[in-house]
Amino acid sequence: MAYRHVVGPRTWAFADLAELMAKATPVRSGDRLAGVAAESAEEGSAARWCLADVPLREILARPLIAYEDDDVTRLILDTHDAAAFSGVAHLTVGDFREFLLTATTETLARIAPGITPEMAAAVSKISRNQDLILIARKCRVVTRFRNTIGLPGTMAVRLQPNHPTDDPAGITASILDGLSYGCGDAVIGINPASDSVAALGKLLHLLDEIIRRHAIPTQGCVLTHVTTTLEAMNRGWPVDLVFQSIAGTQAANAGFGVTLAILKEAHEAMLALKRGSLGDNGMYFETGQGSALSANAHHGIDQQTLEARAYAVARPFRPLLVNTVVGFIGPEYLYDGKEIIRAGLEDHFCGKLMGVPLGVDVCYTNHAEADQDDMDVLLTLLGAAGCTYVMGVPGADDVMLNYQSTSFHDSLYVREVLGLKRAPEFEAWLHALGMTDAAGTLLPAEPGSPLLADASGLAA
Amino acid sequence: MSEDAKIWARLAGLTPARIGLGRTGSGLPTREVLRFGLAHAQARDAVHTPMDADAVTADIEALGLPTLRVASQAADRAAYLRRPDQGRALAPADRDALERAAGDSVDLAIVVADGLSARAVHEGAAGFLAAFKPHAERAGWSLAPVIVASQARVALGDAVGAALKARAVAVLVGERPGLSSPDSLGIYLTFGPRIGRSDAERNCISNVRPAGLSHALAAFKLDWLLSQAFARGLTGVSLKDESEAALAGSDVAPALPKA
């Protein structure tokens, strides 16, 4: 069915819901590359007017990719919670925005299982950045493994100690540096340079050893392919979190070499290990706008809607952490700081609305029109929006993946400006070590800290 | 220097990561803000400085290698960054010119592409070719003229290789600059170049730069990969780079600079 909107003498027509949603999306380079973006500012605006009138029921009834063609569509529809949806089923997209602006935290939690990614994406497209911040801030998604992530007034940090050759001493040095800045409550997560199972084993044991020796209330993760992590679990190696990159269509997931069945198998294997002391949220997923297009698996759908569908893939696995790697993929998908900032807020909003613990890798590459000032803006906005976690990379410079993210220092900045705390168990651990005061503020380093005692052996 | 400061200095020596930076309140010391800013400026300049094709062709011709120039369909850097498809396609006039220039089939076409770092090409392309030329001569491989390509991505080599009737194409391309590596050259080898080849059908030698892989070693690796590609009739994921093992017991090793 075609959608129409009249502006003065001109009637704008959109062939179907996919085209309408794509053209209603604030313009970004990836949608232009895919040939689905609005071709004029007025067309984009007309599409937003038109989308605001579409009932949420209609979005549910018109899958963007056919049920029989795509297992992500099947997952979305088969697990849809009709009871949770009943509270908003009568609304149009435009009414839904207004409903969200006045909804309480409890209401948002109640409707989350009834919100499909397409509904979340649709309402985000007609929302301003301030709406995305205000509504997401009211959503609460709390997860637990060895600590508690997502409590109000907190923001966690993934300590990302990557090294270009996976050198254990070099990685340990970066971990000690990050811990000394009070980072690492979300996870200590290494992107390995090598794909090999043997390399994975070394890094898993290294993380397990550091976390045990210092009794750190956190979890470790080596971000390798899920099948490699399955192999590690079969070998009895110490796997805390199971990682996988995911996307919003079956074909894009196939490009990542992953299926829903493989994720289910890995999830069950993780649960059987029972390594979480406080909870069993043991999955960690990464996503990013543009991944489906780069895998030629976008079905003519805009990249932001596809990104929200990736959160639907994550949701049934009750993950501890999910993050969009928002500026990583490059300027052909998000061209500049403005597009990256908008996308980061959209992704965080959609994830939270769907009940997924969304964090953001606030980042950019050197061929994007962005710099550290743009990252400061996005980090501050996400702190205000209640973002679950961000990255902590030494000096913001990832020397393995060759991109810039947020640093250990950046986390101190956002905590000081917005009063954000760490996960409470991690906060207590830092305080017990004498590294922070009662308010969680980092103290000047004392000589002879137990962390540095570790380091002296390493560097000798 | 305090004991702890000594430990941090030693730890910093274990990784190229920016650790042990110190802090002033919640912020970075001024020197670190400026150091980061300089590194980013160099990486940005590497992306946006246009390739000096005159100088690059002159350097290559000085090695006794003839050259031809082509451009992709990306009109400028902004188009190049937004439209990867345009950077992979030859400008129509240049494709016709290459087809007219093509003689009998050759073993190897070499493409020097600006990619995302003209600086890497300015500083590294001729040096690498000087190191590789003796390998090609020793193997007896016939070479097409070296193609100097502007606003070009790796896959442009497929169109070039096909137009020149080359059995294989090697694309020397300026890599996406990291904050600490604005000058890194990548070398992508594709057997049987034709439009539509996927990245899984290529082999890559990356991080060719003074602080990374040397020209001599990169030339040795390309020689090894190319020999394997011709022997097995393929490149890509099925061809694992085991040149290190070959290097250990090889009589080619003396061609490398003495340590």
What is the domain-level CATH number for residue B102? 3.40.50.11240
How many Cβ atoms sit within 10 Å of the Cβ of residue A83? 10
Inside any domain, residue B46: no
pLDDT per position as a tens digit, A229-247: 999 999 999 999 999 999 9
Which has the closest alpha carbon to B186: B168, B209, B210?
Answer: B209
Chain B's closest residue to A443, CA to CA, is B25
Contact criterion met (CB < 8 Å) for A170 and B14: yes
3-class SS at A235?
A: coil
DSSP β-bridge partners for residue A154: A421
Tell me the CATH number at A27: 1.10.220.70
Inside any domain, residue A213: yes
Inside any domain, residue B77: yes
Inside any domain, residue A456: no
Dihedral over alpha carbons A191, A194, A199, A202 (to 10 degrees): -30
Total count of domains within chain B: 1
Band (pLDDT 50/70/90 cuts) for residue A64 is: very high
Q: Is A456 annotated as a binding residue?
A: no
pLDDT per position as a tens digit, A74-87: 999 999 999 999 99
Which residues on A lie below 8 Å from B83 (Cβ)? Answer: 33, 332
The answer to whether residue B258 scores a pLDDT higher than 50 is no
- The reply to whether A110 and A203 lie within a common domain is no
Which residues on B lie below 8 Å from A34 (Cβ)? Answer: none
Kindly state the average pLDDT of the residues A149-173.
96
CA distance A173 to chain B (A): 6
Domain endpoint, select from A82, A99, A127: A127
Contact criterion met (CB < 8 Å) for B85 and A33: yes
Write down the H helix ranges in B167-213.
none
Q: Where in the sequence is the domain holding B244, given as residue range(s)?
A: 52-255
Domain endpoint, select from A97, A127, A157: A127
Band (pLDDT 50/70/90 cuts) for residue B95 is: very high
Residue A449, pLDDT score: 76
Q: If you count residue pairs, one on A and one on B, with CB atoms under 8 Å apart, how many are there?
A: 135
B interface with A, Cβ–Cβ below 8 Å: 2-4, 7-8, 10-21, 23, 25-28, 32, 36-37, 39-40, 43-44, 46-47, 81-85, 116, 176-181
Total count of domains within chain A: 2
Residue B256, pLDDT score: 43
Chain B's closest residue to A402, CA to CA, is B178
Q: Half-sphere exposure of B111 toward its Cβ, with a 13 Å CA cutoff?
A: 37
Tell me the CATH number at A277: 3.20.20.70
Band (pLDDT 50/70/90 cuts) for residue A1 is: low
Share of chain A above pLDDT 90, in %: 91
Q: Which residues of A36-46 are buried (b: 16+ CB within 10 A; e: fewer)?
A: bbbeeeebbbb
What is the reported pTM? 0.91
- The reply to whether A311 and A341 lie within a common domain is yes
The answer to whether residue A93 scores a pLDDT higher than 50 is yes
Q: Is A160 annotated as a binding residue?
A: yes
Inside any domain, residue A444: no
Q: Is A69 annotated as a binding residue?
A: no
Inside any domain, residue A175: yes
Domain endpoint, select from A93, A127, A161: A127
Q: How far apart are CA A249 and CA B85, in angstroms?
A: 22
The answer to whether residue B259 scores a pLDDT higher than 50 is no
Of B14, B23, B180, the CB nearest to A397: B180
- The reply to whether A36 and A164 lie within a common domain is no
Contact criterion met (CB < 8 Å) for A402 and B179: yes
Inside any domain, residue A460: no
- The reply to whether A339 and A403 lie within a common domain is yes
- The reply to whether A111 and A243 lie within a common domain is no
The answer to whether residue A357 scores a pLDDT higher than 90 is yes
Inside any domain, residue A20: yes
Inside any domain, residue A340: yes
The mean-pLDDT minimum among A28-42, A190-204, A385-399, B75-89 falls in A190-204
Which residues on A lie below 8 Å from B179 (Cβ)? Answer: 366, 397, 399, 402, 404
Q: How far apart are CA B16 and CA B39, in angstroms?
A: 14
Chain B's closest residue to A178, CA to CA, is B19
Inside any domain, residue A236: yes
- The reply to whether A395 and A279 lie within a common domain is yes
Q: Judge whether A195 is closer than 8 Å to chain B, CB to CB.
A: no
Residue A460, pLDDT score: 41
Q: How far apart are CA A78 and CA A75, in angstroms?
A: 5
- The reply to whether A225 and A317 lie within a common domain is yes
Q: Do residues A384 and A354 lie in contact, with contact meaning Cβ atoms separated by under 8 Å?
A: no
Which residues on A lie below 8 Å from B16 (Cβ)? Answer: 163-164, 170, 399
Q: Where in the sequence is the domain holding A33, given as residue range(s)?
A: 3-127
Of A176, A402, A456, the CB nearest to B178: A402
- The reply to whether A193 and A243 lie within a common domain is yes
- The reply to whether A181 and A123 lie within a common domain is no
Contact criterion met (CB < 8 Å) for B28 and A365: no
Band (pLDDT 50/70/90 cuts) for residue B249 is: low
Q: How far apart are CA A228 and CA A242, in angstroms?
A: 10
Q: How far apart are CA A144 and CA A423, in angstroms?
A: 10
How buried is residue A49: exposed, middle or buried, by Cβ count under 10 Å (0-12/13-18/19+)? middle
pLDDT per position as a tens digit, A174-189: 999 999 999 999 999 9
Q: Is A158 annotated as a binding residue?
A: yes
The answer to whether residue A255 scores a pLDDT higher than 90 is no
pLDDT per position as a tens digit, B139-187: 999 999 999 999 999 999 999 999 999 999 999 999 999 898 889 999 9
- The reply to whether A184 and A50 lie within a common domain is no
